[in-house]
A and B are shown apart, each in its own frame.
Chain A
Amino acid sequence: MKRFFILNIFAGALLLTACKKDFLDRQPLDGYSNSSLWTDSSDAAAALNGVYNGANGWASDNASGWADGFLMNYMDCASDNAYSQFYWEGFQDFGNGLVTPSDGNVDDLWSPAYTTIQKCNFFLQNIGITPMGAAGKASMIAQVRFIRAYQYFMLAAIVWRCCF
């Protein structure tokens, strides 16, 4: 009797846990799946904020959204508006015409643009199904298209041959 009692406890514990068919189905708890979003205008607004965020996630520490204020100032050193006096900031070569593809700051002019473009495309792909007012939706779409155009503008101006 004693042994059946003990064994029943173990068997019960095992069976309770073993029987779930979808035991291995686990969804992330800290991130949304695309199919659960785009249900109303606040979802769209959050995605729009993400577009404004641009490449803040992974570009240089100084990236500040879809238009990098730091680069906006320092790229004056690539023109004759300004001269960068500290070589370690990496902009002297732009001004002197000695810049090469492996210069650190070149990547900051190139990669974050594509990250932002990717976000714009993602937004434009999904916004259509969102149930919200037409005027609001049109405004959001216009903002995103502007931001995307700005990225391509910067790429064309600095990197050239990127888009044709």
Chain B
Amino acid sequence: MRTAFKKQARPKKVTHHLLSSKSWLIMRLTLILMTAACLQVTAKSVAQKINLADKNTPIEKVFNQIQQQSGYNFFYKQSALRLAEPVTVYLKDGSIQTALELCFKNQPRLTYSLVDNVVIIKQKTTQPVSDETANEQAPQHEVHGIVRDSAGKPLGGVSVVVAGTKKGTLTNTVGEYSVNADQGDVLEFNFVGYQTKRVAVTESNEVDVQLNALSTQLNDIVIVGYSTQKKGDLTGAVGIVNSEQLENRPVTNTTNALEGTVPGVTIVATNGQPGYDAGTIKVRGIGTLNNSNPMIVVDGNIVSSMNDVDPNDIATISVLKDAASSAIYGSRAANGVVLITTKKGKAGTTQISYNDYFGKQKATALPDYVPSWQAATLYNEALENEGHAAQYTDAQIDSFKLGTSPYNYPNTDWLGLFYSGSGFQQDHNLNMSGGTDKTQYFFSLGYFDENGIVPKTNTQRYTTRLNLSSKVTNKLTVFGNLSYTYQPIMQPQSTYPGVASFSQVIRQVNRISNMIPYKYANGDYGHISDGNPMAMLNSSSYDNNEGYTFVGIAGADWEPISNLHIRPQIAWTQTTSDDRNFIASVQYYNPDGTPAGQPNVNYASETYQQSTAFTPQLLADYSWKIGEDNHFKVLGGYSQEIDNWHELYGYRQNFLNNQLSVINLGSPTGQVANGDANQLALRSFFGRINYDYKEKYLLEGNLRYDGSSRFAPGNRYGTYPSVSAGWRISEEKFFEPLKNIVSNLKLRASWGKLGNQSALANYPAIAVINSGENYVFGGTSPVAAPGIAQTQGVDPDIVWESTTESNIGLDADFLRNTLSLTADYFIKNTDHILYGLPVAATYGLNPPIENEVSVRNQGLEVVLSYHNHVGNFTYIITGNASFIKNQITNLAGQGDNISGATIQRVGLPIYSYYGYVAQGVFQSQSQITSHASQTGISPNTAPGDLIYKDLNGDGVIDSHDKTYLGTNFPKVTYGLNINLAYKGFDLTAFLQGTAGVKNYISGELLGQNSNTAGKPTSMLLSSWTATNPSNFPRAWINYTQNDPADNPSSFWIRSAAYLRMKNLQLGYTLPDKWAKLIHFKKLRVYYSGQNLFTITQFYKWADPEVPSGTSGYDYPQVKINTLGLNLTF
């Protein structure tokens, strides 16, 4: 019977509604315990090598053998098998079709058909399903044609039946069918996962048909809190990222990989330094004044950071955005939850793959400091503006310009000297997965190496992971996930006394003037009073941080009675951080060779920290149904967590030389030893109920009761409920006529309450008498006397912060599933925010942490996705956008909280800017006298200074004329994903941007006028002068009236909206036949670039995402170009 055809790769799991009647025996349908298994979008072909050696063997045994070797499942009635003859078959490395043909060669009463990866065994009926070769009746009217899907791909295995009869056939591998039918008969086309189509036979005997897939993703399994759900049944707002969106992008850590993938999730990455460049994640705005990071769960275990997970190990990420979906995590979920699931093995398919890339980094933008002759000219201007005489004569400026005297009149390219690192980055990942029905495994090894654009900056990441799961008995599955990450990070240090950090070196590079030579003729370093940043970089100072993280999770799934699962789990996380620091001593010299001042004292210190977390957890879930249409699922659970942290610190100074830095070599005089420890305990009870009617009306309720050791007894527990509902309008009868246009329409709504207590110190409700309040009693033999005192005010009555969130959402699929839309509108109120608002100085202690602030976030998130094809060219375009309005709604009756350029005020967003409105620059003295008086800002106001608007009209410019100038947190974030594929080529472009956001820079990064500490950027070339008036303030050195740090204004605080080409990837996959020649299943080479270009109106030499108001302490953002390889064996 010629129904054999090649198996076609299909991405989704098929359910056989046709076969659900009683007594079908299903052999080994692997259940969705291995949740990640069903999310693998790339199809892996099932092994096709079947070996049989059976003589007169019962057919069932042969079926078992075929099933084990191929993964194909068999459906049959037990009664049918009684009609089977014993089988004799010998086969070596055969395909499934050959095996089946041989088995059924001599089976007079049984026949089979192969649909997807299922073999259906049926009794041969007296009137066999006819096809063109077995037909004995004369064809009255032979109708033939091709069946395709909406993308034009032929569909094989589609059942074509003449309605009302038993006549029918299946389409072959190229979608062709041929059947006998009379004119007027109706042909019915059925295929699992597709909408049934009925076509009447007309005069033409050619009937080509296109079948539309049922909403392609509705049956996808999505990870939600503590369990899984079908995407179609979701009632909450969940954003999903699959491994394709994370793969092959040269992102340095998992946090940054999420950028632009899910609407409502904003990642802000402010620098590109190896090891320190992880962005901060915000889900749906900034919820609180404290830590507003979402909760991170990896494989069911709550962790503090996702950056220990190798992005190559991730199968899927779910972001739970609204209260309903994250309420099950209760007290720590107020800022959203990110659920990460790592890859697991699948039964029957062994796969080994190797991925790597090599690339080079470059800064996205560096300050464009002007050559020293222009810096000298500007310095002269600034001196004259401030009432001093110019310093440099024209001849001296010419010397700078011509470079005739490079040691006395240099033009040092400090940035060129400093940013001379290799920027070389590479990543290697090898993983293996596979298994049998009983046991599946996933094992991976990863190595990542990143060298920064500054020498001596480097990080590496060694990761390994083993995920094992085994079905011990029919009712019991056990699993274990082990992972270990080692990450060393290296960075240089500053030798400036008392300020050791690497950011100080970056600041010094931005600060030291071009008029200072790098080295004198005799090789000594040129320097200013702060030193020479290159001397600091070249010294043997270092900061080496080694991080080790081990995570072990073990659990079981026991099903004592069917549909009841009891899932205990324990998890152990151990994180160690060992930071070793050495500051070398540097002696600077005057140009004549005499020592300039004293060298700094060299010293070494080591900080060793260890934290452990032990989390046992017990879950039970049960599902049942009443009738066919009412489905219930209930989940209950308990979990607790105990975190321990301790730290040890040692310090010694006065080493003999700068070569060796082990602490024992330092002098015992002045040595310091510190140690500290703390604990945190959490305990929770939670439960959930799901109900759906015909999968059309969906209802879900969650409840969590959470306790934390951070609060006083009596205030420890919080209760967090949530409820959500969904209505699949598209399944309603009244919707039938529209179903062709809108194949899926679902409305969802949710409400819930969540808590937050995560960023506090561990004991904020307990008054503590601190040590360290020491005093040195002087005299000729000073004695250090240890002292104690209370320094922190405490309110023992504090409770959890709580967030109440409502969400309405819509999911729709149009145009035969080529267009899909998801939209959500939410309002999120966070109350009782724990914060220490300033108190009067007479209180005498640091402000206590109180529940005193409220914040609201509300917004709209939209995802629109379109996919189609033109011949062999397929394309998918997905856009997402989120619009968020953030505001403080309550500040405990306190007035505005103003600090520098930012303000916290009821009604304004959290990171609000506050300053003057600038109206240009005074061009003449008469303009100054006719304008409101600015003497309060500076008694030296003169033409060339910024004009500040007199907002309250009182004729004086003072702090009453300051106003809200915008916010540093973007109001709009959006992303655009374009995927194109043509034959073996694929192109992916990912753009991301923000709007409605402001930022400013100051100090060294903005540009300063000086001949020692500070250098001007090209922007300062348009400084106002009497002979060259402009709209840019006049050059200044000490005057503060135009400086953004002293007088923030709308002149400096400007739009930081940007559009960035975040990732561009071009790849080529070797055609299958070539790949087979070299024994690979898949070989793909690709180019991938990250942060390729940025379009923005912000200062050209500063990345728009630099920290607010930064003056140049930050490592620049980087762009990366890489070439890589994907191999699958």
Residues of A within 8 A of B (CB): 2-3, 6-7, 10-11, 13-14, 17-18, 23-34, 37, 45-53, 56-58, 65, 87-88, 107, 110-111, 114-115, 117-119, 121-122
- Of A17, A34, A58, A87, which is within 8 A of B614 by CB? A17
Contact call B789/A53, Cβ cutoff below 8 A: yes
Q: Determine, out of B437-445, B653-661, B764-772, B992-1000, the stretch whose residues face the partner at the interface.
A: B764-772
- Of A24, A33, A46, A50, which is within 8 A of B683 by CB? A24
Contact of A110 with B786 at beta-carbon distance under 8 Å, contacts A24-B716, A50-B773, A53-B774 already known = no
Contact of A31 with B770 at beta-carbon distance under 8 Å, contacts A6-B476, A117-B844 already known = yes
Contact call A6/B768, Cβ cutoff below 8 A: no
Contact call B475/A3, Cβ cutoff below 8 A: yes
Within 8 A of A (CB), among B768-812: 768-775, 777, 785-791
- Of A32, A57, A117, which is within 8 A of B769 by CB? A32
Cβ contacts under 8 Å, A111 to chain B: 841
Bound complex: CA A17 to CA B774 (Å):
40
Bound complex: CA A68 to CA B1039 (Å):
30
Smallest CB-CB separation from A53: which chain B residue?
A: B773
Cβ contacts under 8 Å, B640 to chain A: 17-18, 23
Q: Determine, out of B315-323, B705-713, B732-740, B972-980, the stretch whose residues face the partner at the interface.
A: B705-713
Bound complex: CA A22 to CA B154 (Å):
66
Query: B556 within 8 Å of A by Cβ?
Result: yes
- Minimum distance in angstroms from A125 CB to a CB of chain B: 11
Contact of A49 with B773 at beta-carbon distance under 8 Å, contacts A26-B681, A30-B676 already known = yes
Contact call A114/B842, Cβ cutoff below 8 A: yes
Contact call B786/A49, Cβ cutoff below 8 A: yes
Cβ contacts under 8 Å, B771 to chain A: 30-32
Q: List 14 A-B contacts (CB under 8 A).
A: A6-B478, A7-B568, A13-B570, A13-B616, A24-B681, A24-B716, A27-B763, A33-B766, A33-B768, A33-B769, A45-B785, A53-B774, A58-B846, A122-B789
Bound complex: CA A19 to CA B1078 (Å):
60
Cβ contacts under 8 Å, B568 to chain A: 7, 10-11, 13-14
Bound complex: CA A148 to CA B682 (Å):
43
Cβ contacts under 8 Å, B478 to chain A: 6
Contact call B773/A56, Cβ cutoff below 8 A: yes
**Which of B713, B770, B777 has the most CB atoms of chain A within a 10 A radius of its CB?**
B770
- Minimum distance in angstroms from A55 CB to a CB of chain B: 9
Give 8 new A-B contacts, CB below 8 A, not counting A24-B708, A49-B785: A7-B476, A10-B569, A18-B638, A23-B681, A24-B681, A33-B766, A49-B775, A58-B846
- Minimum distance in angstroms from B962 CB to a CB of chain A: 13
Cβ contacts under 8 Å, B845 to chain A: 115, 118
Contact call B680/A26, Cβ cutoff below 8 A: yes
Residues of B within 8 A of A (CB): 472-473, 475-476, 478, 555-556, 558, 568-570, 614, 616, 618, 638, 640, 642, 676-683, 707-709, 713, 716, 762-763, 766-775, 777, 785-791, 841-846, 1038
**Which of A2, A23, A88 has the most CB atoms of chain B within a 10 A radius of its CB?**
A23
Smallest CB-CB separation from A56: which chain B residue?
A: B773
Contact call A53/B676, Cβ cutoff below 8 A: no
Cβ contacts under 8 Å, A45 to chain B: 785
Cβ contacts under 8 Å, A17 to chain B: 614, 616, 640, 642
Cβ contacts under 8 Å, A57 to chain B: 772-773, 791
Contact of A110 with B841 at beta-carbon distance under 8 Å, contacts A6-B476, A14-B618, A17-B616 already known = yes
Contact call B769/A3, Cβ cutoff below 8 A: no
- Minimum distance in angstroms from A43 CB to a CB of chain B: 8
Bound complex: CA A49 to CA B785 (Å):
6
Bound complex: CA A120 to CA B843 (Å):
13
Bound complex: CA A111 to CA B707 (Å):
38
Contact call A28/B556, Cβ cutoff below 8 A: no
Cβ contacts under 8 Å, A118 to chain B: 843-845
Contact call A29/B841, Cβ cutoff below 8 A: no
- Of B475, B707, B774, B789, which is within 8 A of A47 by CB? B789
Cβ contacts under 8 Å, A51 to chain B: 787, 789
Cβ contacts under 8 Å, B775 to chain A: 49-50, 52-53, 56, 65
Bound complex: CA A128 to CA B846 (Å):
26
Contact of A30 with B570 at beta-carbon distance under 8 Å, contacts A49-B774, A115-B845 already known = no
Contact call A46/B681, Cβ cutoff below 8 A: no
Smallest CB-CB separation from B569: which chain A residue?
A: A10
- Minimum distance in angstroms from B1058 CB to a CB of chain A: 35
Bound complex: CA A88 to CA B347 (Å):
73
Bound complex: CA A31 to CA B766 (Å):
10
Bound complex: CA A157 to CA B766 (Å):
37
Bound complex: CA A57 to CA B761 (Å):
18
- Minimum distance in angstroms from B117 CB to a CB of chain A: 30
Contact call A7/B556, Cβ cutoff below 8 A: yes
Cβ contacts under 8 Å, B682 to chain A: 24
Contact call A29/B678, Cβ cutoff below 8 A: yes
Contact call B472/A47, Cβ cutoff below 8 A: no
Bound complex: CA A74 to CA B797 (Å):
43
Bound complex: CA A37 to CA B769 (Å):
9
Contact call A28/B766, Cβ cutoff below 8 A: yes
Contact of A114 with B846 at beta-carbon distance under 8 Å, contacts A7-B556, A47-B788 already known = no
Contact of A32 with B768 at beta-carbon distance under 8 Å, contacts A2-B472, A10-B570, A49-B774 already known = yes
Contact of A30 with B677 at beta-carbon distance under 8 Å, contacts A50-B773, A53-B775 already known = yes
Cβ contacts under 8 Å, A46 to chain B: 786-788
- Minimum distance in angstroms from B657 CB to a CB of chain A: 31
Bound complex: CA A117 to CA B677 (Å):
30
- Minimum distance in angstroms from B742 CB to a CB of chain A: 48
Contact of A48 with B787 at beta-carbon distance under 8 Å, contacts A6-B472, A23-B640 already known = yes
Cβ contacts under 8 Å, A49 to chain B: 773-775, 785-788
Smallest CB-CB separation from A18: which chain B residue?
A: B640
Contact call A50/B788, Cβ cutoff below 8 A: yes
Bound complex: CA A34 to CA B783 (Å):
26
Smallest CB-CB separation from B478: which chain A residue?
A: A6
- Minimum distance in angstroms from B901 CB to a CB of chain A: 15
Cβ contacts under 8 Å, A11 to chain B: 568
Bound complex: CA A124 to CA B647 (Å):
34
Cβ contacts under 8 Å, B767 to chain A: 33-34
Bound complex: CA A27 to CA B765 (Å):
10
- Minimum distance in angstroms from B94 CB to a CB of chain A: 37
Bound complex: CA A45 to CA B762 (Å):
28
Cβ contacts under 8 Å, A88 to chain B: 1038
Smallest CB-CB separation from A46: which chain B residue?
A: B788
Cβ contacts under 8 Å, A26 to chain B: 679-681, 709, 762-763
Bound complex: CA A46 to CA B769 (Å):
11
Contact call A34/B790, Cβ cutoff below 8 A: yes
Bound complex: CA A122 to CA B846 (Å):
15
Contact call B716/A3, Cβ cutoff below 8 A: no
Bound complex: CA A89 to CA B682 (Å):
49
6 shortest interchain CB distances as A-B pairs: A118-B844, A49-B787, A50-B789, A31-B768, A50-B787, A10-B568
Cβ contacts under 8 Å, B677 to chain A: 29-30
Bound complex: CA A110 to CA B762 (Å):
31
Bound complex: CA A39 to CA B642 (Å):
32
Smallest CB-CB separation from A38: which chain B residue?
A: B769
- Minimum distance in angstroms from B591 CB to a CB of chain A: 26
Smallest CB-CB separation from A31: which chain B residue?
A: B768
Contact call A53/B762, Cβ cutoff below 8 A: no
**Which of B475, B844, B1038 has the most CB atoms of chain A within a 10 A radius of its CB?**
B844
Smallest CB-CB separation from B570: which chain A residue?
A: A13
- Minimum distance in angstroms from A113 CB to a CB of chain B: 8
Contact call A52/B787, Cβ cutoff below 8 A: yes
Cβ contacts under 8 Å, B555 to chain A: 10
Cβ contacts under 8 Å, B708 to chain A: 24
- Minimum distance in angstroms from B52 CB to a CB of chain A: 32
Cβ contacts under 8 Å, B638 to chain A: 18
